[in-house]
A and B are shown apart, each in its own frame.
Chain A
Amino acid sequence: MKKHVKKIEYTVRGALGLCALVTLITTVGIIAVLSSETIPFFKEVPITDFLFGTRWAPLLEPKSFGVLPLVIGTGMIMVGSAFIALPVGITTAVYLSEFSSQRMRSIIKPVLEVLAGIPTIVYGYFALTFITPLLKTILPQTEIFNATSGAIVVGIMVLPMVASLCDDAFQSVPKALKEGGYALGATSYEVIGQVIVPYSASRILAAFILALSRAIGETMAVTLAAGANARFAFDPLQSVQTMTAYIVQVSLGDTPQGGIEYQTCFAVGSLLFLITLAMNVAGQSILFKYRRGK
């Protein structure tokens, strides 16, 4: 009997461990797949031309592989979304953790969850058919596809994440510190500005980094709303192309496998992966350090 149990025990442990291996294999897979196409690409196109070139035209003759226009497009979306997601997200968190009644919380929290759960394609549709026409009535020179409306919806999309991470951070401020502030006669505005926010500064930073990394990886909303026009310019009312939107554009066409156009997808994907990975590692390590300290 005992031997029998032991046998099952080992089998179960092995099977479960095998499942846990899948995530490790996924990481290895991602790195292997990206580099298997990116390395041959850099054999044809010097890496400096790729990183610092200002013209992106891999599908047109004469071909040119400067990724900066895509990086600028992505950057504009990221900065624009930050203008919405960061201030609104952090004030929402302040309101939820310091001012709101239990009832208000039970309304706002689910609303944020729903906003976070709405698929990105829906936000793209909303940007294209609602926000862009709205922008056009205010600023008539707005193009049908433009960076601003893409940035606005991406901002809305990552707002819940900022709000919930900051809310967690504010909730964990020791009560003694807050009460101490109030006991000295501070108003809630002063307690928030001088006690709560400084105390949770590093976790707020982590929330910002993680949210912006999410904004960089956003695909369908920006593909629909911001267009497919990779240019080296900074006009937010014009159409731009993000790194993600480029990959989609190529995938929708009939690009043969193995060609240089096909490899550009992976080169751009590698860059995207490295940028978001660096940001995620930075954000997670702040949160991780904090969690262990508790």
Chain B
Amino acid sequence: MEGFSGRKRKEKIFKIACFGLTFLSVIILIVLLYHIGQAGSKYLSFKFLDSWPSRFPHKAGIKAGIWGTLWLISLTALISVPIGIFSALFLEEYKIPGKLGKFVEINVANLAGVPSIVYGLLGLTIFVRFLGLDRSLLSGALTLSLLILPVIIVSSREAIKSVPDAIRFGAYALGASRYQVVFWHVLPIALPGILTGVILALSRAIGETAPLIIVGALTYISYTPESIMDEFTVLPLQIYNWASRPQEEFHYLAAGGIIVLLGVMLSMNFIAVVIRQKASKKVKI
């Protein structure tokens, strides 16, 4: 049997090891941000944001990527947010009984785990080829919508679940019908929580690259999209294109693009956190 001091020492070492490995994440994040910041600052300027891609690094920019990403995300939000929220409302408030209900629940959880590239193959076959939408913004947005739908549904259900039953019973007691309960009482209270999940899902969609490569977003585009049927490129794809070239100068351009991409995503995450904190103060029963 080990002595007390030996056990104490073991505990101390264990504690330090745990702390060290935990702190590793912080160090990794700092190194990653520093590395990208240093490499990307070289080309980051207003001109970089407002130029088309080019063979010459000093002339290249991400205008097409930024506009493509803005169009694509707005369109994705328009498609996926209502469908996602309505699905969650149906699954939580109307409840499908029995085996089918359980199946739907498991199905959503599994869809969230399907690799994004498989959604790309789905989008390519159904939207690009079968429905004949070609390599348009609409094809890309539909594909991304299917991809983030499970994420939106899962987080929205959590938000809806946390609405106290007293609200529902209260409304029923006053003679409200079901849809009135759902849309006038449950949804408004759950909305901040839902919004948080939606913003996080959309910020994930902004960074998606693989399914868009499969669906056929192009890497060289020198115009801004004017309709949802236009061909397009997005920021992550432009970054991929630059990063996969052997010349170092293009890597700096890629880093510049990454700074912009991370800037957009982190500010979206920040907004989500603010909404979450604001909402947690309201509605207490």
Contacts and interface: CB of A to CB of B under 8 A. Distances in A.
A91 B108 CA distance: 30
B63 to A, nearest CB: 19
A151 to B, nearest CB: 15
Contacts of B114: 30, 217, 273, 276-277, 280
A159 interface: yes
A244 B216 CA distance: 16
23 contacts: A6-B177, A9-B178, A12-B178, A12-B179, A13-B179, A16-B94, A24-B104, A95-B22, A108-B25, A122-B207, A122-B258, A129-B35, A130-B35, A187-B7, A214-B113, A219-B116, A247-B120, A248-B210, A257-B129, A269-B117, A273-B114, A280-B113, A284-B109
**Interface footprint category on B:** 35 or more
A188 B36 CA distance: 40
Contacts of A279: 113
A293 B239 CA distance: 46
Contacts of B109: 280, 284, 288
A187 B10 contact: yes
Task: Say whether chain A's binding surface is mostly helix, strand, loop, or mixed.
Answer: helix
B150 interface: yes
B239 A121 contact: yes
Contact of B200 (A115, A117, A280): A117
Contacts of A24: 104, 107
A118 B22 contact: no
Interface string A215-227: 0111110011000
Interface stretch (B50-58, B82-90, B160-168): B82-90
Given A121-B258, A288-B109, 6 more contacts: A88-B24, A115-B29, A117-B203, A213-B113, A217-B115, A273-B114
Interface in A108-131: 108, 110-115, 117-122, 124-126, 128-130
B118 interface: yes
Nearest to A160: B25
A73 to B, nearest CB: 15
B265 interface: yes
Interface in B98-128: 104, 106-111, 113-122, 124-126
Given A115-B28, A121-B209, A272 B19 contact: no
B266 interface: yes
Contacts of A26: 111, 122, 146, 149
Contacts of B96: 20
